[in-house]
């Protein structure tokens, strides 16, 4: 796969990109159909201007972080600190960033959270509003400076992700989403982490296969869906960072 891919120019169309941009995305997906995640990342860094990686440093995030670091250690890595994360997540984030040599880690927070959630209890009465204030809005503000972002989404996570491609135009914005692990299976992820001797999030061993904010995440029992511990008693499956027209894409899968 030649890597002299011309860049995808940012579109002024905010309803899903220009026709030319959509055509380029379709072409990239066709050309890379039988290629692996590393090739996808190499092409992405040539094709998408100002590309960033968004990571929760969650249960299996280290696989994508390692893959990306092998291609470009200078990539901006956006980590959203909701100020309600597990202490283990914050420690793990620091350890992984240091181990992988991530040189451009950016901690994203909502500077206005004291006004938006003065008591810190918004999650008890309106979890969607809490996620919007602590995660979605600060991320969208940070992404305004980038032409696209790398995600860890995968087809096996079901729902609207079942037809996921390597490249897509983000709905409602001119940005490109890059999904290098789109075709990976759960065993692919586990094998990659084991083969490269990468550290797992410490809460995985304690029954947390999907990890978000501490107040809204609980352990998962054997046989339960891996997402069962997220917003356990609520009709909610996504925090909202993957959305269409401002609404969360509820695919029942992790970020």
List C-alpha distances in Å: 212 to 80, 83, 133.
11, 11, 15
Which helix (H) or strand (E) is 52 found in, with range? strand 51-54
Instruction: Report how far residue 15's alpha carbon sits from residue 11's, in angstroms, rounded to the nearest whole number.
Output: 10
Active-site hit among 130, 131, 213, 239: 239
Instruction: Report how far residue 171's alpha carbon sits from residue 91's, in angstroms, rounded to the nearest whole number.
Output: 33
List C-alpha distances in Å: 119 to 123, 124, 211, 234.
10, 11, 23, 21
Residues whose CB falls within 8 Å of the CB of residue 184, separated by 6 or more in sequence, listed in order: 37, 154, 156, 192
216 is catalytic: no
End-to-end CA distance of the chain: 29
Q: Hey, which residues are catalytic here?
A: 239
């Amino acid at each position: 796969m030649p890597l002299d891919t011309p860049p995808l120019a940012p579109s002024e169309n905010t309803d899903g990109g220009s026709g030319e941009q959509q055509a380029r995305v379709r072409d990239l997906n066709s050309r890379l159909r039988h290629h692996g995640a590393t090739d996808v990342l190499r092409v992405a860094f040539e094709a998408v201007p100002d590309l960033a990686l968004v990571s929760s440093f969650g249960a299996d995030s280290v696989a994508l972080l390692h893959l990306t670091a092998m291609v470009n250690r200078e990539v901006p890595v956006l980590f959203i600190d909701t100020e309600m994360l597990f202490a283990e997540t914050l420690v793990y984030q620091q350890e992984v960033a240091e181990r992988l040599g991530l040189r451009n880690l950016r901690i994203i927070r909502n500077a206005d959270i004291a006004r938006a959630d003065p008591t810190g209890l918004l999650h008890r009465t309106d979890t969607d509003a809490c996620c919007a204030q602590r995660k979605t809005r600060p991320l969208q503000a940070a992404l305004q400076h980038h032409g696209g972002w790398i995600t860890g989404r995968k087809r096996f996570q079901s729902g609207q992700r079942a037809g996921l491609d390597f490249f897509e135009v983000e709905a409602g914005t001119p940005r490109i989403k890059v999904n290098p692990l789109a075709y990976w299976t759960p065993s692919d992820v586990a094998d990659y982490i084991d083969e490269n001797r990468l550290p797992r999030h410490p809460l995985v061993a304690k029954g947390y296969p999907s990890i978000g904010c501490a107040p809204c995440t609980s352990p998962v029992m054997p046989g339960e869906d891996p997402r069962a511990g997220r917003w356990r008693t609520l009709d909610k499956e996504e925090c909202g960072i993957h959305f269409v027209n401002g609404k969360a894409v509820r695919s029942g899968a992790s970020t």
